[in-house]
């Protein structure tokens, strides 16, 4: 039985660290972090999670776009574990869209993100994967990627007026 982890909350130092690259994808340590991330995410209404959010400063994220109570109109994408992810924008165009974060409960904000990106990562077998992501899923990736750089979504907000209480957000959408 995999342990559920507490989710680090804004102010926790681990959320502000540059996460370390994974050097051994198939190690027991890496496997345990992945299992804990999967279990912890599955227990939430989130659409993604990054290892620093369970206090592991290592470059592992899960992107799991699905319709949930938190993101009712999210498209379905199988939960994908991405190790040492990186990306390049395929457009200069950024679009503002609503984001929230399990580490910053009860807050939503409009964040500008690239609408099309090319990503690279290692899968759980250590195989290099490359794919293109668009729109909402690209947004989730960029949000989780930022966690690995010690950034949270509020850092990318253009204007404080783009930050709202979740209760107000649900009246807007």
Give the one residue of 15, 62, 63, 101 binding Ni ion; rule: CB under 5 A. Answer: 101
20 is an active site residue: no
**How many CB atoms lie under 10 A from the CB of residue 133?**
22
Give CA–CA dist 123/135, Å, rounded.
Answer: 22
Please say which residue, 91 or 155, places its beta carbon nearer to Ni ion. Answer: 155
* 91 within 8 A of 115, measured Cβ to Cβ: yes
Of the listed pieces 5-13, 15-23, 98-106, 116-124, which binds Ni ion according to CB under 5 A?
A: 98-106
3-class SS at 32? Answer: helix
**Which residue in this structure is represented by tokens 């991330």?**
37
122 is a site residue for Ni ion (CB under 5 A): no
Picking from 122, 93, 111, the residue whose alpha carbon sits closest to that of residue 163 is 111
Binding mask 20-59 for Ni ion (x = CB under 5 A): ----------------------------------------
Catalytic residue, chosen from 144, 158, 166, 168, is 144
61 is a site residue for Ni ion (CB under 5 A): no
Please say which residue, 6 or 91, places its beta carbon nearer to Ni ion. Answer: 6
Picking from 56, 124, 55, the residue whose alpha carbon sits closest to that of residue 85 is 124
Task: Summarize as ranges the residues that interact with Ni ion (CB under 5 A).
Answer: 101
**Positions marked active-site:** 144
């Amino acid at each position: 039985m995999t342990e559920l982890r507490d989710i680090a909350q804004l102010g926790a130092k681990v959320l502000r660290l540059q996460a370390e690259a994974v050097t051994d994808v198939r190690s027991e340590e890496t496997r345990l972090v992945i299992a804990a991330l999967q279990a912890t995410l599955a227990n939430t209404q989130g659409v993604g999670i990054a290892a620093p959010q369970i206090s592991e400063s290592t470059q592992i994220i899960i992107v799991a776009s699905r319709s949930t109570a938190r993101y009712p109109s999210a498209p379905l994408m199988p939960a994908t574990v991405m190790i040492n992810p990186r990306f390049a924008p395929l457009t200069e165009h950024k679009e503002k869209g609503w984001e929230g974060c399990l580490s910053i409960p009860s807050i939503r904000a409009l964040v500008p993100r690239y609408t099309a990106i090319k990503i690279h990562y290692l899968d759980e077998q250590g195989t290099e994967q490359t794919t293109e992501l668009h729109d909402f899923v690209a947004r989730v990736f960029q949000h989780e990627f930022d966690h690995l750089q010690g950034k949270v979504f509020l850092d990318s907000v253009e204007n404080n007026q783009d930050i709202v209480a979740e209760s107000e957000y649900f009246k807007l959408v």
